[in-house]
Amino acid sequence: MQLTTCVMVGRAESDFFSIYSFFFTDLHIHFPLDDFTMGVLCVLNVAPTQLYLNLWATLQAFCLICDMLRLSLILQFFLHYFSAHSAFPTGWLSLVGTSRSCLFSPFTSSYKNFKSQFFKVYIEPPGRSLFFYKNNNTRFPFYWTQNSVCYSSWPGLPMMSKDQDMVRILDPLPKKLPTQKIIVLYWSLHRWGS
C-alpha cells in the first residue's frame, strides 16, 4: 500500500504534522498521542518523523511492557535506558540502549521505502487542546528541529518509593526483549479482548 501526502487548501503550516504509515500498520500507535509520548518528543525536541522508526517501536514496546506490568509511564525512566544520538547533518535522532540496560532488540533490521509512506495529521479546532497548550505553543515540535537533545546517560532519576519499585521490576527483565513480538502479541490479545 502506497500512502502519500495529503494536500489541503487553507490550512496554516502550524496546524499539521507528519507521521509515517508504519505508526499504524506495524506499531499500532493511536491518536491523539498520549502525554508520555508527547513528553518524549518535547524533551528530545524532535518532530515525530525525526525519530528512527525502530525508536518508535521501542517507545511503543516500553509503553506496552509498563501497561502489562501495571507500571506508571515515567519519562525519566524511559530515557534512563538509552543514550540519544543525532545523525548530522540530517537531523535524525536515535536512542541506543546502554550496555547495562538494553531492554529491547530492534523491531526490524531495516525499514525500507518508508519516506514516501506518510500521512499529514491536520488539527481541527475541536481537537486543538490535544496538541496545543493554552498559550498556543505546541506540545511537541511539529517540524524537524536542528537542536535535538543528545546525551550519553540521562541525568538523575526521581527516587520516590514507587520509582524504586519500577527500577526493581524493570532492571531484572531479560535484556534485548523482542520488540516486534511484544507489539504483535499485545495487540493480538487487545484485539480479541483478552
The pLDDT of residue 6 is 35
Locate 192 and state its grid cell.
480479541
Instruction: Indicate whether 8 pLDDT > 60.
Output: no
Tallying the residues shown for the chain, one arrives at: 194
Instruction: Indicate whether 156 pLDDT > 80.
Output: no
Helices vs. strands in the chain: H and E counts, helices first: 6, 4
With beta carbons less than 8 A apart as the criterion, state whether 102 and 175 touch: yes
The pLDDT of residue 3 is 29
Closest residue by Cα to residue 63 from 86, 32, 36, 103? 36
d(CA 186, CA 64): 7
The pLDDT of residue 161 is 63
Q: Please give the single-letter amino acid code of residue 150.
A: C
In sign, the C-alpha dihedral spanning 149, 153, 155, 156 is: positive
Locate 57 and state its grid cell.
517501536
Instruction: Indicate whether 163 pLDDT > 90.
Output: no
Q: Please give the single-letter amino acid code of residue 21.
A: S
Phi/psi for 48 (5° steps) reads: -55, -40
Tell me what the pLDDT averaged over the chain comes to: 77
d(CA 19, CA 6): 12
Select the more confidently predicted residue: 149 or 9: 149
What's the pLDDT band for 12 if we cut at 50, 70, 90? low
With beta carbons less than 8 A apart as the criterion, state whether 51 and 93 touch: yes
* Model confidence pLDDT, tens digit, residues 48-106: 988 887 788 888 888 888 888 888 888 888 888 888 888 766 778 877 776 556 777 76
pTM over 0.85: no
The pLDDT of residue 157 is 64
Average pLDDT value for residue range 108-124: 72
